[in-house]
Amino acid sequence: MKKKRYHHGDLRAGLIEAARQLVEERGPERLTMSEASRAAGVSTAAPYRYFADRDELLNAVALEGMERQHEAMRAGGERHPLGSDAAVTAIGLAYVDFATRERGVFKLMFSLTRTHAQHPELLQKGCDTFDVLLRHLAHRYALPLDDPAILARGLKLWTFVHGLSFLLIDDKVSAMAIPLDLHGTVADAARRFLRDD
């Protein structure tokens, strides 16, 4: 394979993108450093200039995925009034949309718990992403982000869209021929979880 010519700083990004595509095609379990090298069109030694091993490369793929998910959720919420039903619905839809669009990366993001605990940057990005939702809830109920009531309500909403996402990416809904109005389902869940107890 003809080697690609990378400008300074592009090689790391090229390797992450090659690994992302392989994760989407085959899943993270089968990714190897040599496979990522070949897909990026570089020597098998090249990745080790940036990543100590396969886990570090996968963590970089996961981190970039988390950043894309975070941005999509933030942008979705900001199209509506802060703390509104519509904003929370949009955040939930952005979560599900990312999961179904980047199935391999989404699964990777939630399958590396063993190594994520050793990488504060990944944990912090997860917290920042959850805070996108919590910021809307905190405004709605005039409470701090870390108030137990806000965290509990946020967890309920997260649990719903996370479970729905996995049902969709694992094709469980389509396999059982269950009709789904995605927007209506997420909007209904948002209204129910946001209702005052």
**pLDDT digit string, tens, across residues 132-141:** 999 999 999 9
**pLDDT digit string, tens, across residues 114-132:** 655 677 888 899 999 999 9
Whether the predicted pLDDT of 146 surpasses 70? yes
Distance of CA 170 to the CA centre of its chain: 16
Predicted local distance difference test score (pLDDT) of residue 85: 97
Least confident segment among 22-26, 133-137, 188-192, 193-197: 193-197
DSSP secondary structure of 19-41: HHHHHHHH-GGG--HHHHHHHHT
Give the separation between CA 23 and CA 55, rounded to whole angstroms. 13
Task: Read off the pLDDT of each residue in 164-193 and give the average, rounded to a whole number.
Answer: 95
Q: Is the pTM of this model over 0.85?
A: yes
Give the separation between CA 10 and CA 8, rounded to whole angstroms. 6
